[in-house]
Structure 1
Amino acid sequence: MSVKPPIWWYQSMDEYYARKKIKEDPEINNIFEDKPQELEEFTLWYIAYSSAYGSVGFTTAIYEWLTNGWDSIPKDRMRMIEYDPEGWKALSKAVFERDNYTCTYCGEIGGQLEVDHKRPWSRGGTDDMDNLTTACLRCNRQKHDKTVDEFMEWKKNKISGDE
């Protein structure tokens, strides 16, 4: 039985390969020569752009960046924490308060809580309040990129030993 790596692992690999690809590209290094801050901005943008649109060639990416910058990525395909960290903190607090600081999946109260996407981000979920819920660290890690129904079925099977 193979184990699927968690979503954060894929995101880390995407970032690693994007940074490696950018570092090795002579055209990009010419454009951003002696501008390390702008290169870092472009790198972060490219990672977000690739995440929203899939892999794109550097010619397209450079044109988009130089023409539109961050505005070339629709906000609905960027995680709120990427473009509005303070807004994400406030939204997280509102989710925790709405859910009485209780994990939706196991009922644990307090502890290390996280905001979970009911419909996972990787499957088209959004940062809208109705798609967010409170999850304890354990449940959120076990849920990975499953929908709520898939996770509850997995959890039921795990408890009954059918997994």
Structure 2
Amino acid sequence: FLIYGPAIIFIVVDVETTLLLTDPIKAEWGWMFGIPENPITYGISSTWAMCTVIFSLIICIEYIFNTKQTYKKKQVKLATLGLIIPAAVGFHTEYLFPIMNIKVPELVVPSLTVGLIIIWYSIWSRNISGKKHRYNIVKQEIDALIKNTTFI
């Protein structure tokens, strides 16, 4: 509930009200969203989003230090880099700069694209082919998700 509960609440609040983001605003580079008059809810949602990213990074870094196989370490290091890039860009363009009233283009989606390409490369660069290996990857990811969310 700690992971998905706030996400559902923030989605409903964002769709139904302007407490998280204002209506689109015309800027020099196109359209962007602004921070509402009372930025408390925006700050809470942004802080929650950054906490989920930090939690994911902690899990990745812990895995890097605990695994013995070098190819898995390389794979997780690349995946961690794929998480860090959109997190850093998102923190600056969606959280820090708007609070300081600095207008910049929203770069989260392009940086997320780059991050996901890096994560994709880290998964498929290990010459994983065949249905058996793909099934094992999905099974391991689901098992890890269940283990991680049971303790929350």
Q: Is TM more than 0.5 here?
A: no
TM-score by length of structure 2 reads: 0.36
Work out which structure has the larger RCO, using CA pairs closer than 8 Å and 6 or more positions apart in sequence.
Answer: 2
Question: Which of the pair is proportionally richer in helix?
Answer: 2
| TM score, norm. by length of structure 1 | 0.34
